[in-house]
Structure formats: structure tokens, C-alpha cells
Amino acid sequence: MKNIDKEEKISFAQAFKMNWRAFGIIYRKRPQMIASRLIASIWDVLTPYAEIWLSARIIDELAGDRDPARLKFLVILTLAVTAASALISAFIRKWRDVQDTSFWFAVDRIFIEKKASLDYADLDNPKTHELIAAMETIGSYAGGGFARVVFCFDTFFQQIFSIAGGIALTVSLFTSKTGENAASALTETPWIAVVAACVMGALIAVSSVLNNKSGAIWAKNAKAHVLGNRFFWHFGWLGWDDEAAADIRIYNQQRFCGKYIANKESAFESKGLYAKLSKYPIGVYSALSTGLSVLFSAAVNAYICIKAVSGAFGVGMVTQYTASTMRVFSGIGMLIEFYGDIKNNAAYLKLDFQLIDMKSSLQKGTRGVEPPRKESGGIEFKNVSFKYPGTDDYVLKNVSIKFRPGSRLAAVGMNGSGKTTFIKLLCRLYDPTEGEILYNGVNIKEYDYGEYMRMFAVVFQDFYITKFKLGENVSSGPITDREKVEKCLESAGFADKLAEYEKGIDTYMGKIYDPDGVECSGGEAQKIAIARALYKDAPFIILDEPTASLDPIAEADIYSKFNDIAKGKSAIYISHRLSSCKFCDEIAVFHEGQIIQHGSHDELLSDEDGKYRQLWYAQAQYYQK
Ligand code: ADP
């Protein structure tokens, strides 16, 4: 992944390409939404011209002949056109609003889907978190990124039509012939019209360029507050996270934020970078830009008035020219801003595309997964070594072990000896740094990833139970087989608790979705996690410290059921409590990233100098005391 701090200059062509690509992605997701927005925008800019033109005709008639029949016709026409355009506008806007309800969801979904499909290893990488935080915080804070693309292209098409409509009504301002009076001397040469048009154009161009400059400063410095935003979001969320609520209150953890609030130079504070930039240069550019557009209005009005005084046109045309020139030049200004917007937005899109273009580093094969073969089959680790991404130390070193299908393996060892990492490699959450893992004699990288993953049901130590319904947690999705859900909960020792729930497996976990939801103890949650693994009914069941939160009775219950639970399956069982491993066929002793002993309980215990015997007696002594 590229370093997001690295600044590269982006040309307009590159910026346009990026914006267009983003526009295309949104268009493919929601073509109707884009079409409705464009049609509504174009309709909105064109309809006022009809009213401007008709009003000018009425004023001309009032200031001129005052023919009642013509006036009546013009008034009726104006009313009819206004009513028809209001009706059509309402219809188009309704269509756009309906389509727009899913605007933010359509934009967010692009990233939600991408984030959910990232490699597990990438989630461990601080660079990924930094990138996502940068995208989310600076993108949404400054309104940049995919959403802005839609607004940019709305503006572009809107202004093209606005300028075309305006020019059609304005051209005669510069070409109309003056009358015979003093003011006409000023306007009779065609060069005056050219100079007037140029001055107006220059004023609006400079004003828009200054506005772009102030926008560019925002975009360029947006990264300065990424870290501040990350902390802000993290603690802002924790403040009402029910799982952290007790700790926050007991330890008064609000103080974490104190150092950012106390530091007046931090991103959001009064002496921070943004406060300084807002005064200068952003403030100065914005003020100059506004000042110049006021000057522009003055210049336009002066020119129109001089021509009117010189007798080139009547009072009705004055209103038409004033309104339409303003629209033409504001259209030009908006197009110049579009140019700047496209460039500024590219700075945000660059981050978005860094995420979208992130490739999976896991090799994903196409080979179908067959059931474990009894003879040469099963799992084999061959000289596997592993370092976590971004770290220098090996946490597994030359691990070699064969694991026969249908057998039960216990992985024991001290904390940090590499047992969980061993499981994560087996389940392809990471790939080995060196060596290979074989399944049925074939490197696991060659198998279809989804199919391979379906072979494992794992209860990790830090399993996660969602706040959805109990049954949905067990089936990891909508409840389709209620009987199976209940049976798995029963096998996991949850039957008594389930009987207490009025809504049974439809009971919500926690109260955030339903006031009748239940709060589970650590042990109960662990049983739900075990039931979920059973429900998956995979050929390999892996339990990583599955009884750590269980009381001794529940623990004994799970052990006694373990044979049933793992019947016909291959099972791997990680535990500190060696007494609970006795029933396994094989035991692998992990120590400092290596498997230092491998055999049955009796074999390992008979090795007088072995680690297993040492651990066994240390624990036995502990329990005897
Ligand atoms: P065990 O399951 O035996 O307690 P682990 O496999 O969890 O051990 O951890 C082995 C080593 O790997 C430990 O030193 C641990 O700190 C380190 N480790 C675990 N997860 C990560 C990670 N995501 N990034 C870096 N190091 C890790």
C-alpha cells in the first residue's frame, strides 16, 4: 500500500480522470439516481429563463404601447408557463428526491463492501486504519470524495445549460445599436462591447480562481488533522459504547481526551492549524473573491445602464440583460470553480481509490476442496515460520506437524507461545512467511478461498457476539433452521438459559435494539460462540481456550460433551489447563514459537525432562494447594 503522506502533484487531466471514474462507479450502482439529479438540475437552470424573457416582454409592453390585448396574452402566457414549469419541476424533484433517499447509502456502500472484503492481515496494519480514518474523517469533514463528485458533475452540466440559455438572451446586449444621444458615443464602437465583456469575464475569473485557491488550501492541509480526528472518533464512539461504559466511568477515562482539549494548538482548537488558515490565507482569498464578484455586478449593471441610456433598448430588456448576464457569468464562475473542485476533490479521491484498489495479498486458488483423506490426507505444517505484518520477530519458527483427519489435537503452552497464531495460519487469516501448509497433500493457497474457509468452525478467545437476535448469532445470519439452532445451543450447555427467555432464540442480545433484550455473562456468551461453531457443522472444529470464562461446573459439562461435539470431526483444542487435554489423541507443546514436544498424554508425561511434564506437575500442584 502506498504511503498516504507522500504528496504527488495531480494534473487536471489526472484529476478529471479520477473524478470521472468515481462518477462512473456511482452511476453503475445507481443510474436512475444520477439521471434524476442531472435532469432536475438542468430543468432548474433553464426554467427561470422563460420567466425572465416573458417578464421583459410585459415590462416592455407596459413601458411602450400598452396594448391591452397583447398585455392580456403575455400575462396569460406567463401564468401558463409558470404553472406548467412549476408542475413539471415538482414532478422531477419528487423523482429526484425518491432516488436521492439512498444517495449516502449508495456512496457508503461502495466502501462498506470494500472494507468488509479486506484481508484480515490488512486490518492488522496501522496504515490501513490511517487510510480509512483519513478517508472518512477528512473526506466527510471537508465534504470531499465520492459524494462531491456527484455535486461537481451536477454543477458542470447545470452550468453548461445555464450559460447556453443565458447567452441566447444576452447576445443582443453587445450587438444592439445605440440611439442618437451623448451616452451613445461611449457604446457605439464595437470594441467597447469587447472590452466590457473582457473586464466582466476577467473579474469573474479572478474571483473564482481566488475561491478555488481557498478550497485548495483546505484540501492540501486536510491530512493535518487525521490523527486528531481518529482520536476524536474513537473516543466519541466509546463514550456510548455499552461494552466500554463501565470502565470509562470507573477509571474516568474521559481524561484521555483532555490532552487534546488542553492543547490549544491541536487540530480543532483556537491556535490550531485550521484556525490559523481560516484567518489567512483562506479568509483573505474568500474575502477578495466575494469583493470581486460584487465589483463584477457593478460593472455589468453600469454597462447595461449606459447602453439603455444611449437608447439601445428599453426598460424590459434592462431586466432581461441584468438577470441573464448574471446567470451567464455566474455559470462561467461555477465552471471555473468546477475546474478547481475537480482538482481539489482529486486529493480526497486519491485516498478513496487507494482503498478501492487495495489488492488482496493472499493467494486465492481455484481448486475445489475435497473431504479430508484418511491416509495421506489431513493437515500438514511443513517448516512453517511466521512474522506478523510490519514486525521483525518470528512468532512461529520452523513448525512442522501432521494432523490426521478425525483426530483430536490439543495445543498447549505458555501465553504468547504461538498457539493462536498457529490456528490463524491454518484458517488462512494470514499466510506463512516461510514454509507451507498442506491439506490432502496440496498447498492450502491453491484451494478456493471460500470453500477452504468453510471447513473451519473456530471459537476464538476474543470471539464477538453481535447485538442481533440469539438465533441470528448462532446461525450467523437469518434464522432458517430453528430446530438446529436450539439443538446447537443445547449441546453448548445453553438449554437452561434459553428456557428462561420469553422470546426464545428471537431474544435480542443486549438492549440496543429491543428493551426486552438480554445481557449475557462472559460464560454465557462463550456458550453462544460454541453453539455458533457447532451450527456451522464444519469438518474442523477449533476451540481456542473455550472454557476460559466458564465456571467449573459448566467447564466439566463442556468437556463431557466434547466427544459428542467433535464426533466425526477433526478437532483442535487450545488450553492452558492441561487436565482438560488428557482426552485428546495428540498433544503439541508450543514454546517460544516452536513445537517442542508432540505425542499422547502418556508419552509426553513419561518424558522426565520434557516441558509437558513440568507444566503438568506445576498445574497439579497448584490445584492440590
Ligand atoms: P498464544 O495463543 O500461545 O497465547 P499468540 O499466538 O496469541 O500466543 O501470540 C504469539 C505471539 O505473537 C505473542 O508474542 C503475541 O504478542 C504476538 N502477536 C499476536 N498477535 C499479533 C499481532 N496481530 N501483531 C503482532 N504480534 C502479535
Span 506-549, pLDDT tens digits: 999 988 889 889 988 888 898 899 899 999 999 999 988 766 66
> What residue ranges define each of the domains in the chain, with the CATH number in brackets?
12-30+102-356 (no CATH), 379-623 (3.40.50.300)
CB atoms within 10 A of CB 568: 7
Ligand 1 pocket residue status of 419, Cβ below 6 Å: yes
Q: Is residue 379 within 8 Å of 571, Cβ to Cβ?
A: no
**Residues in the chain with pLDDT values less than 50:** 1-6, 623-625
* Any ligand 1 atom below 6 A from CB of 124: yes
Give CA–CA dist 405/586, Å, rounded.
12
Cβ contact 340:179 at 8 Å: no
Beginning with the edge strand found earlier in the chain, give each strand of the sheet holding 570-574 in spatial order: 456-459, 540-544, 570-574, 408-413, 586-591, 594-599
Angle among Cα 196, 197, 200 to the nearest 5 degrees reads: 85
- How far, in Å, CA of 333 to CA of 206, rounded? 9
The whole-angstrom separation of Cα 19 and Cα 341 is: 10
pLDDT in tens, 92-112: 999 999 988 878 888 888 888
pLDDT at 494: 92
CA distance linking residue 104 with residue 580, whole number of Å? 52
d(CA 345, CA 332): 19
Q: Residue 45 has what pLDDT?
A: 83
Q: Ligand 1 centroid vs 395 CA: distance in angstroms?
A: 7
Is residue 14 within 8 Å of 346, Cβ to Cβ?
yes
CA–CA separation, 232 vs 230, rounded Å? 5
- Give the amino acid at 284: V
Q: What is the pLDDT of residue 434?
A: 96
Q: In sequence order, which residues have a C-beta less than 8 Å from that of residue 603 and are 6 or more positions away?
A: none
In the chain, the amino acid numbered 590 is F
- Label the pairing between strands 586-591 and 408-413: parallel
Please tell me the residue having the least CA distance from ligand 1 atom 27: 388
410-446 exposure pattern, b = at least 16 Cβ within 10 A, e = fewer: bbbbeeebbbbbbbbbbbbbbbbeebebbbbeeebbe
Strand-strand pairing, 408-413 and 394-403: unpaired
Place of cell 444576452: 170
- CA of 120 from ligand 1 middle (Å) equals 15
Contact present, 176 and 307 (Cβ < 8 Å): yes
Calculate helix-pair angle for 522-536, 482-491, nearest 10 degrees: 130
State the pLDDT at residue 134: 79
Say whether 581 sits in a helix, a strand or coil.
helix
Instruction: Give CA–CA dist 109/112, Å, rounded.
Output: 5
580 lines ligand 1 (CB under 6 A): no
Q: Report the predicted TM-score, pTM, of the whole model to 2 decimal places.
A: 0.71
Which whole-number Å values give the CA distances from 288 to 278, 327, 343, in the listed order?
A: 14, 21, 21
Pocket probe mutation, ligand 1, options 393, 397, 421, max atoms within 8 Å of Cβ: 421
- For residue 298, what are the contacts with CB-CB under 8 A and spacing of at least 6? none
Q: How far is the CA of 392 from the centre of ligand 1 (A)?
A: 13
Measured in angstroms, how far is the CA atom of residue 589 from the centroid of ligand 1? 16
